[in-house]
Amino acid sequence: MERRRILKTAGVLATGGVTSLAGCSSSGNGNDDGGGPTTTETQETGISGGSNTVMMVTEGSEYYFDPIGLFVESGETVTFEIQSGSHSATAYKKGTSSASVTRIPEGAETFNSKTLSERGATYEHTFESSGTYDYFCIPHKALGMVGRIVVGKPGGPAEEKMPPDGEVPDSQVIVDQGSVSYSDFTG
């Protein structure tokens, strides 16, 4: 537990101690698509981040979330931010967007930022239920743009096998490291 706190503090120090979180935290509006009040598009400048920020990136012909694997405690908020390109952060919950399977814990709230296009646009989601959450980018799902968040401890349907559209780090590796960067995972 203390190790994770230190890693989070180190992440803030690595960015110069500056964090820029835009938007508002909310538990959503109960819509099946997970949209609603948790979605905020903003134009940010300067250093962004904090240890609970996942960047959504287009780099040449690669489309990815960075980090691709992230550990948070129950009740923490994750900010998804556009670094480049147009992307979404959408939970694998059958019936949400183009998800044909459910890969979030039973009873967990789904999330769907829908497609964000402006550099610096953000979407926030607070993760309340413990377990493993796999998610994808709507426009780049077929190209393997998937990610994984472990809340508290691994568990749920995402632990059965890899997502249908790509590979993500093993949940225990995410818990042990706190986060797994895209370059470390693919390198």
User: Do 124 and 54 touch, CB atoms closer than 8 A?
Assistant: no
- The answer to whether 24 is a known ligand-binding residue is no
Closest by Cα among 107, 159, 102, 106 to 136: 102
Side-by-side strand order, sheet with 90-91: 90-91, 131-136, 146-151, 69-72, 179-180
- Which residues 6+ apart lie within 8 Å of 71 measured at CB? 4, 149, 150, 151, 174, 175, 177, 178, 179
Residue 145 annotated in ligand binding: yes
CA proximity to 121, closest of 41, 19, 25: 41
Binding positions for Cu cation are 137, 140, 145
Binding positions are 137, 140, 145
